[in-house]
Structure 1
Amino acid sequence: MSDTDMNSGGEDSQKLERMVDSKIRHSLETHKNDMLKEIGSLFEKISENTNNSQLSKISNIIACDIPKFKRKSNEEQYKHNVKVNMKLNEAEQLVSTDPVQCKAKIVEGVDLKISMESKLAEAGINNQGNLAEHMATYILHSRADNTVKKYNGYFKLFRAFCESKSLSARPANYMTVALFLTSLLDENKSNSVVSSSVYAIKWMHSIHDLPDPTDNSVVRNLLEASKRLRSKPVVKKDIVDSNMLKSLCALFENNMTLVNLRDLSMILICYAGFLRFNELSSLCCNDVIFNENHIVIKIRVSKTDIYRKGNEVLIAKGDTIACPYKMLQKYMSKADLTVESEKYLFRPLLKTRGKYSLVKVNKQLSYTRAKECIVAKLRLVAPGLKLGTHSLRASGASAAVNFGKVSERCIKRHGRWKSDQAKDGYVQDSLEERLFISKHLGL
């Protein structure tokens, strides 16, 4: 065979190899794309048939890469902590949609059920009918739902810190807590974060009937240090006066649409009744009673009424265009609301064919939307002021105090304040009141 024939044969074999490689690569690429499409469609099906809680559980399981430990006990503790975090994450997703189920998840997450089972066993009592679980759930109800959620979140941070240092989070040593607070201060965390962490650790040990690691001079001094080093001055919102509110109502006198009536009613009731936003948003139609010369508003949910005894706010009928009594009557009439209805008084609005109507679903107006509506209206008559929902509560209280003829006791009762200190934090003295002292010094 000649050299030319040998070279020709070698070239043919190389071409054949290249063709085979190209076919294999093309086949693999096609197969890979088909696999990716199948995986994508599979995840779409999972998304359609799986709720958020289940998806969270799946992602947690997939993402859980268990590290290697020298001791078997450490590996078991790590697995337990992962399971606890999954329960707490499920609770956070349920807190707004299903508070009862949320409580159950938190009970599992903080191991409170296990603690109660252990306590019952120590006392020689049988755990019949899920007694430990019921007991754990009731213990969590010793604090408000939002407080439990807050403390639970901060304790999760503490537990993560302890895991990174191979320290016990529950029960915790006071020096472990001190080390955690020191790390927060080193990270320039605010006093709110530091103090909330301390109270969360204290609460967690309390519900498990464990010694309080925060009841120690080292921890207390670190907490005081955070107040001195990390506290920020409170920037309070500006206040409005009755003349501004009269001008605001005059602007809409010939344009009393449902949205304007709702927003003006919220503004005037908050101003005259010193209402907090949660008190306003929780009002139902049957919480309002119209009398001949005043209205009675029943406050079912209040920040200071932790035992739900209830309260009443009386607002007098006025003679001006900014009368809360008349404005609320107009709003309820326009919205076809009756005082017998159990639906929320202030709900979101729906605009169809140029007309506003309340949504059919019995849904509270959100804080964000209410703040947008209230502040937008107030800025029409007070464009240069820093305003918020609390501006109206502070404005009404300041007007009553500066009027001078209302007793401190009545003002405190009307605003549902527990102490004079809390009330005084809302009151802004008028210029005349502040100058009164120096004017009478005889200088």
Structure 2
Amino acid sequence: MSKVSEDLLIYFVAHCQSVLKLKYSTIKLYLAGVRFHGVNFDNVNPLCDKFGHTYQRLQNVLNGVKKSESKPLRQKLPITFKILQEIVTCLQCGFFNHDYMDLTFQTACVLAFYGFLRCNEFTCRTVFDPDSNLCVSDINFVSECEVTVNLKATKTDIFRQGIIISLFKIEGVICPYKLLSQLMSVKIKPKRKAE
């Protein structure tokens, strides 16, 4: 039987973390040293009970130490209407110094906001695939105040049948109808040949 009890090991781990401010990896190294000493001199693994099972409470304390030092996840805040207005206003002032690029990003931001879209639902991960990615032909101006966007695949569409999102004309700078209309008129214009 080991002279080192589970309680003593737990106190040791707690002391290392709270008083000595040691990291999880260092505490594990110290425990490896305790184990090495116990096996070499007492012929017993002090980190296990008499049946050879790891002490569960000690393991739980170690897991707590590990979790307490992990970096907190960066909180992702939602885009509010005010933030969206600021983004669009910034892009309208020529953020990219390229009118088409600025208009494309404005439209993408507004489309994502009003359509409750995830990024991968209207962007390409790698190579453009017309069977799964958003195309110009997926945008349909139904009336003077409504436009529909056909998404071929979404996370919530289990059977991958696609869904149609209706967007409407509203007042202000972040109108999805106006921005899609502007983008389509720029996209559809034929390029002039240099004379």
Give TM-score, length-normalised by structure 1. Answer: 0.23
Choose 1 or 2 for highest CA Rg. 1
Structure showing greater relative contact order (alpha-carbon pairs closer than 8 Å, 6 or more residues apart) = 2
Looking at secondary structure, tell me which structure has more helix per residue.
1
